[in-house]
């Protein structure tokens, strides 16, 4: 168990190292990094000063060492536009992103799990087919388009909901729907296949044989076990939601990390863009590690295999 966890942690550290190296190299290899790290329109003196400050005249491994040194201390640079440390900006936007992601997750599970169960119980029949169409639509409709159509209906025509901004529950509804839609389809698919697998197992047959009513078999015996992979996926998806919300947040002017990234692009604020990618990737590596460890704790087969 300890060996397994140590190995997983080592792998994750390696991933984080490669992640930082990838980002670092992309910035250096694709051209003169000073043009990215210096504010647009800076004078030659400023550029030279910046080159010296970042040690861009040094050998590349020295540059990487100093890059890592600042990263470890939590120094992700200064935003050109806001004139504040990037990490501070990121953390100030994180709660909004988390709120949006949680609302979208609640919506996606509320739709995805019941419809997935229904499709599995009625496999091959009407509800299963309807579910298939729904999941296909969910996976094919781009979130920004859903967002724009929602605004058109609920803000422009019906005037029920505010089209942008944050603050009240009403502001949250449309972005959460637009963001959660895709994930609802993904959760539905997984619930269905996981339910089908569980419903075919021996202990379900036994539960039926001993005469339990079907509703109890499904609700008590099958559902609980089928839920494990779905909740695992949901855990990963929550982090992914925070990181893919950029389009939805732009459509609804939701002040989260995605919107920060969008501002980073429009104001050519490179430190912000770099930080959002680095922190997003790190977040996913860490969550994957946590889930692996949790699985090892719950399921002895996994830790013995390693």
Interface with another protein (CB under 8 A):
11, 14-15, 18-19, 22-23, 26-27, 30-31, 36, 136-137, 139-142, 144-145, 148-149, 151-152, 155-157, 163, 240, 243-244, 246-247, 250-251, 261-262, 264-266, 268, 270, 273-274, 276-277, 280-281, 284-285, 288
Q: Which CB, 14 or 231, lies closer to another protein?
A: 14
Q: Which CB, 61 or 157, lies closer to another protein?
A: 157
Nearest-angstrom CA–CA distance, 134 and 301: 36
Q: Which CB, 151 or 230, lies closer to another protein?
A: 151
| Cβ at position 219, least distance to another protein in Å | 27
Q: Which CB, 47 or 247, lies closer to another protein?
A: 247
Cβ contacts of 163-172, under 8 Å, gap ≥ 24: 163/252, 164/252, 164/253, 164/254, 165/252, 165/253, 165/254, 166/96, 166/254, 166/255, 171/252, 171/254, 172/99, 172/100, 172/103
**Angle (nearest 5°) at CA 105 between 100 and 111:** 130
| Cβ at position 268, least distance to another protein in Å | 8
| Cβ at position 213, least distance to another protein in Å | 32
| Cβ at position 23, least distance to another protein in Å | 7
Q: Which CB, 218 or 269, lies closer to another protein?
A: 269
| Cβ at position 257, least distance to another protein in Å | 9
Q: Which value, in Å, is the radius of gyration of the alpha carbons in the chain?
A: 24
Residues 6+ apart with CB under 8 A from 80: 39, 40, 267, 268, 269, 270, 271
Per-residue CA distances from 276 to 12, 87, 88, 187, 257 (Å): 19, 9, 12, 26, 7
């Amino acid at each position: 168990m300890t060996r397994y966890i140590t190995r997983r942690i080592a792998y994750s550290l390696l991933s984080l190292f490669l992640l930082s190296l990838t980002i670092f190299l992309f910035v250096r290899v694709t051209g003169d990094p000073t043009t990215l790290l210096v504010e647009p329109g800076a004078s030659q003196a400023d550029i030279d000063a910046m080159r010296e400050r970042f040690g861009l005249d040094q050998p590349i491994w020295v540059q990487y060492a100093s890059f890592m040194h600042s990263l470890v201390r939590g120094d992700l640079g200064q935003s050109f536009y806001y004139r504040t440390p990037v990490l501070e900006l990121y953390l100030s936007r994180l709660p909004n992103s988390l709120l949006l992601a949680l609302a979208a997750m609640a919506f996606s599970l509320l739709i995805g799990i019941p419809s997935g169960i229904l499709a599995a119980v009625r496999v091959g029949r009407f509800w299963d087919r309807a579910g298939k169409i729904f999941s296909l639509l969910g996976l094919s409709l781009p979130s920004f388009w859903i967002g724009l159509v929602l605004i058109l209906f609920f803000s422009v025509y019906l005037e029920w909901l505010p089209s942008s901004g944050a603050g009240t529950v009403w502001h949250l509804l449309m972005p959460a729907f637009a963001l959660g839609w895709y994930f609802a389809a993904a959760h539905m698919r997984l619930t269905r296949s996981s339910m089908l697998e569980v419903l075919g197992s021996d202990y379900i047959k036994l539960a039926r044989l001993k005469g339990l009513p079907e509703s109890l078999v499904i609700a008590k015996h099958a559902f609980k076990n089928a839920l494990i992979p779905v909740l695992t996926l949901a855990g990963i998806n929550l982090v992914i939601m925070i990181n893919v919300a950029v389009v939805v947040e732009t459509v609804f002017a939701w002040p989260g990390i995605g919107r920060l990234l969008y501002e980073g692009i429009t104001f050519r604020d490179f430190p912000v863009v770099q930080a959002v990618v680095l922190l997003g990737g790190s977040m996913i590596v860490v969550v994957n590690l946590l889930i692996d460890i949790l699985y090892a704790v719950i399921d002895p087969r996994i830790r013995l295999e390693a």
